[in-house]
Amino acid sequence: MVDTIMSILSQTVESELPLLRALSEAQTSTHPEPGKWSKKEELGHLIDSAANNHLRFVRAALDGEYEGPGYDPDGWVALHGYQEMPVETIIGLWHHYNRLLDRLVDRIEPSRLEAPCVVREGDAVTLGFLIDDYVLHMRHHLDHVLDRETITPYPRA
């Protein structure tokens, strides 16, 4: 399972990188409507998601379980100030962080994929589920940022 997930993560990151780099500063800076993220902020959200999931993946892999908080996506995006950053900086951070996660997940012992994980006060899921959910979430947002007709369904979006 992890081989399939990581193959999808690696392929997604590498195939989407040139498409993201083709986006201009103007294209990524516009807010589609008041209260909605710009494309830069949405990409920043993916960096924040990587950071939060990085911690979850490592703790579950090393400790055999994870229990911890969720996070406030709007608060994180605002506090990081992605809107004021150059889009190429955001894309570079996103790319390198996901390459790190790709290496990390590749090194997780297969037996640890069953490690129970609780985020917020939610139901327990496995580490394998969290990894799969992370990739699905990323693909959903990338489809949106790249203005695709078909957006990868994501249950919590």
Please check whether residue 121 lies inside any domain of the structure.
yes
pLDDT in the model for residue 151: 87
Q: Which domain holds residue 106?
A: 2-145
On the question of pLDDT at 3 being above 90, the answer is: no
pTM of the model: 0.94
Residue with more model confidence, 8 or 13: 13
- 91: its two tokens: 């894309």
Please check whether residue 70 lies inside any domain of the structure.
yes
Report d(CA 76, CA 84) in Å as an integer: 14
On the question of pLDDT at 156 being above 90, the answer is: no
Please check whether residue 80 lies inside any domain of the structure.
yes
Count of domains in the chain? 1
Please check whether residue 150 lies inside any domain of the structure.
no
Please check whether residue 131 lies inside any domain of the structure.
yes
CATH number of 79's domain:
1.20.120.450
Please check whether residue 153 lies inside any domain of the structure.
no
Residues of the chain above pLDDT 90, percent: 89
Confidence of residue 157 (pLDDT cuts 50, 70, 90): low
Please check whether residue 152 lies inside any domain of the structure.
no
Please check whether residue 126 lies inside any domain of the structure.
yes
